Chain A
Amino acid sequence: MLGYILRRILYAVPILIGVNLITFMLFFMINTPDDMARAQLGAKQVTPQMIEAWKAEKGYDKPLFLNSKASGIEKVSDTLFMQESLKLFAFDFGFSDANRDIGSDIKERMGPSLAIALPTFFIALITNISLALLLVLFRGSVLDMSMMVIAVMIMSISGLFYIIAGQVLFSKIWHWVPISGYEPGWSAVKFVILPVIIGVFAGMGAGVRWYRSIFLEQINQDYVRTARAKGLSEISVLFKHVLKNGMLPILTGVVVVIPSLFMGSLIMESFFGIPGLGSYTIDAINSQDFAIVKAMVFLGSVLYIIGLILTDISYTLFDPRVKLS
């Protein structure tokens, strides 16, 4: 088990290098450091000296991949790519182009992101699974059919509409919650509740359908027939057998969502003015702050890979047949 996890972590290293390479190429091969300097300094009254000075200050004045001036190992190591990437592996995100400490920014903004993401995640998981079980219990009935129709409709509406409609109804017309903003501590609840409800509702259509299809696939299997033949009630068949055996596909779908929990929801946070990582990223994208975007991409990939490893580990917990080797 431990050896397996270790191997998986080692396997993650080339992937993370690849991720770095892609983001690096994306930003520096097409968009040269000169362009970035111009964008940061304001395009109009920039002199070549100012650009050079800016690049030297940010450390963007090195060659991209191969330093022909240096000798030995420095030929490769004293380049922009190595300088920028190596630090990331130590989770040293450095400073943003606007001279803020990215690491502490991320720490600060993780809380608000999680305050929205965690409740949304768990409430959605529980409601979707219980609704799906309910539908499977009444499969083929009018309830099942009409819920499926509603689910397709919920899926067909863009998330943006839920947010706008929610804000108009609950904040503007009924004045139940503030339109946007955030406060730390318990008073966050009144800012967080609406985004959470909207998040749960918007994902409900796809979620319920997905879980329902998983359970329906299970219910046609032999073990369910055996359980019924033993005289178990339909409800205990569903909860004791079907739910347990459906856990594997559920886990696969669920764990992959974990990185987006930390990253926050880009749209939700910017709409509700919540100072989380999602709005942080959007702001960085808009101000072309490469350092922040790079840090967020790296962080996102790390979390995704952790999520994948966790999936595999959790498989063994739910299905003893799966052996990690």
Chain B
Amino acid sequence: MSLTLLWTDMMVWILIVALLAWGWVVSRSPQVKKQWHTIFRSPVAMASAIVLIFYLFFTLLDSVHMRFHVENGSVKSSASEHVQYRGEMVSLLDLLFSHTIEKTERTYSAPFATHEYTKSIVVDENDVTRQEYLPLKHVKVSKGESERRDILQRSLTATMLGLCVSLLFVFLHIALNGKGTFGEKVRRVWYGETELPWRTAYLAFTLLLVTFVWMYMLSHHYHVLGTDKVGGDVFYQSLKSIRTGVLIGILTTLVMLPVSIVLGISAGFFGGWIDDVIQYIYTTLNSIPGVLLIAGAVLVMQVMMDNNPQWFETTLERSDLRLLFLILILGMTSWTGLCRLLRAETLKISQVEFVTAAKAFGVSKWKIIFRHIMPNLMHIILISVVLDFSALVLAEAVLSYVGVGVDPTMYSWGNMINQARLEMAREPMVWWSLFSAFIFMFILVLAANLLSDRIQKVLDPRSRS
């Protein structure tokens, strides 16, 4: 087994390291720390953050890719079969769900179904042809139990297990967090007397964990969210799509930030011809309809990739490169808005007394930018980052639907919706793929919107009135 880093994996882990470093810096500045404290004093913000961390956790789980040697005897046969099938690269999430990848059905099946969704023609031993619903190959109802009782029993066990695990985490956190005896701390959390709304956080965490454990445990015996046209498990697909959505949301802003910060500040601070040139560039880019620019760039990239097949060894690498390109393109088309904001704000700050004083003292321009201007722009940058995130997740779905988004072989909510379009026209309707994509996407975007609302409210001086 060897670890393999895809391009986007690398970016995501660099981002995580950067975030941790930034968190460390923030924790040393009492002023900024207090601001973050204020943000999380709202229960809604706290719960949203927990949801986002959950999604991030799955993204990270799916961003550790490895290769197994096929001849390696120590690897389970299931994993190596899967390796051959999938172009030799699996992520931790794939390992966790190897049972669902391996056990594909023949075709559509509804959530928790025991039989296929459509009738098939069967010839029985008396040579009579009949149409009937075939049982699913990999659904295991315990012997002597009705299906409903079986599901109920398994659900009960799974829920208990989920509760135990989450309580363990919660108590561990309570024990390590804050001062006082353990009992006292538990009491304070229970009555909601803590400074930060930990009760809400624990509740959200427990809810998410129990739901996941329940679905995961049952996915060993049933298809919890049904199967798609070729019998693939929809639950697994929805979880795989998380990485695509989250990556586009966070990495795009990462790509665009340096460009808009550097250009925005330079335009506002230096003025003159630099300002003119930068303004010209962003007005020009801005006046091209966004979708067209993205579509055009993706098309060009597609042709380029078709002409250079030697760039990638596996299909996964190919779709990963396409994702990377998409992120770059989205970043390049979306920096203009923030750049314009930063330019205006820099112009304003440059006129404020402390900057004029610094100039009069002969402080160098770079020092003024880093000491005085940058810190005063941070809130705008942060607000625009959190606001953009949900818009980008939604944009991914639309672009994939139009055919200029991620690779069609890559799991993404856009691709799921795209497929669902034909399924809705079927009689009877196949609704679960669309439903799963909807739920997974909705929860992510809703959490992001709620958190960004709160951040904007706390950090934006204008909204304090």
CB within 8 Å for A26 and B297 given contacts A18-B280, A152-B446, A297-B288: yes
CB within 8 Å for A27 and B289 given contacts A152-B453, A168-B429: no
Which A residues are in CB contact (< 8 Å) with B301? 30
User: Any chain A CB within 8 A of the CB of B153?
Assistant: no
Give the complex CA separation of A35 and B404 in angstroms: 19
Give the complex CA separation of A152 and B445 in angstroms: 10
Encoded as 1 (CB less than 8 Å from any B CB) or 0, chain A from 151 to 182 comes to 01101111111001001100010000000000
Q: In B405-421, which residues have CB < 8 Å from any A CB?
A: 413-414, 417, 420-421
CB within 8 Å for A35 and B307 given contacts A15-B284, A159-B394, A293-B296: yes
* Interface size in chain A (residues, C-beta < 8 A): 46
Chain A residue with Cβ nearest B418: A160
Encoded as 1 (CB less than 8 Å from any B CB) or 0, chain A from 120 to 150 comes to 0000000000000000000000000000000
Chain A residues near B (Cβ < 8 Å)? 14-15, 18-19, 22-23, 26-27, 30-31, 35, 39, 152-153, 155-161, 164, 167-168, 172, 213, 217, 220, 259-260, 263, 266-267, 270, 281-282, 285-286, 288, 293, 296-297, 300-301, 304-305
25 contacts between A and B (CB under 8 A): A14-B280, A15-B283, A18-B280, A18-B281, A19-B284, A22-B284, A27-B300, A30-B304, A35-B303, A152-B449, A157-B442, A157-B445, A158-B394, A158-B413, A160-B398, A164-B420, A167-B424, A168-B424, A217-B462, A263-B289, A266-B291, A267-B402, A286-B403, A296-B292, A300-B289
Shortest B287–chain A CB gap in Å is: 4
Which A residues are in CB contact (< 8 Å) with B390? 155-156
Shortest A105–chain B CB gap in Å is: 16
A267–B398 touching, CB < 8 Å: yes
Which A residues are in CB contact (< 8 Å) with B424? 164, 167-168, 172
User: Any chain A CB within 8 A of the CB of B175?
Assistant: no
Chain A residue with Cβ nearest B286: A304
Give the complex CA separation of A152 and B283 in angstroms: 30
Number of A-B contacts (CB under 8 A): 125
Chain B residues near A (Cβ < 8 Å)? 280-281, 283-289, 291-293, 295-297, 299-301, 303-304, 307, 390, 394, 397-398, 401-404, 413-414, 417, 420-421, 424-425, 429, 434, 438, 441-442, 445-446, 449-450, 453, 462-463, 465
A18–B284 touching, CB < 8 Å: yes
Which B residues are in CB contact (< 8 Å) with A161? 417, 434, 438
Which B residues are in CB contact (< 8 Å) with A164? 417, 420-421, 424, 434
Given contacts A168-B429, A267-B398, 11 further A-B contacts (CB under 8 A): A15-B280, A15-B284, A26-B300, A152-B450, A158-B397, A161-B417, A164-B417, A164-B424, A164-B434, A293-B292, A301-B288
